[in-house]
Structure 1
Amino acid sequence: MELNVVNREINVGNIRVIGIASSSLFLIGDAETIQQAATFDTPAESLIIGPFTPFVPD
């Protein structure tokens, strides 16, 4: 297999984004490094980490 890459100038005139997903990346051109980050809108005390869900009987 032979792969030849020629980097040349790119010109983007107009972009229309209709919608995005919860995990999205929109990239035009090259990227040497892409870093991931995450934030929570939820207060820390309401975040449950673990395999169990609290059960409250009636």
Structure 2
Amino acid sequence: MIMEVHNYGLHVTNVQIDAIAASSVFLIGDNDSIVLSSFFDTPPESYSILNLVPLGA
């Protein structure tokens, strides 16, 4: 996704943040790019890897 926003003459005087989500970005100012990534933080002991069908005769 490519998104281009022009905020010419942007002037911020006051910011109030009431809540923060698990995936949040709060940015005031200039930047060239934002890279988003995600991962699962599931602990290894919660995985169940089983062979449900016998592979040999």
TM-score scaled by length of structure 1 = 0.42
Higher relative CO (CA 8 A, sep ≥ 6), structure 1 or 2?
1
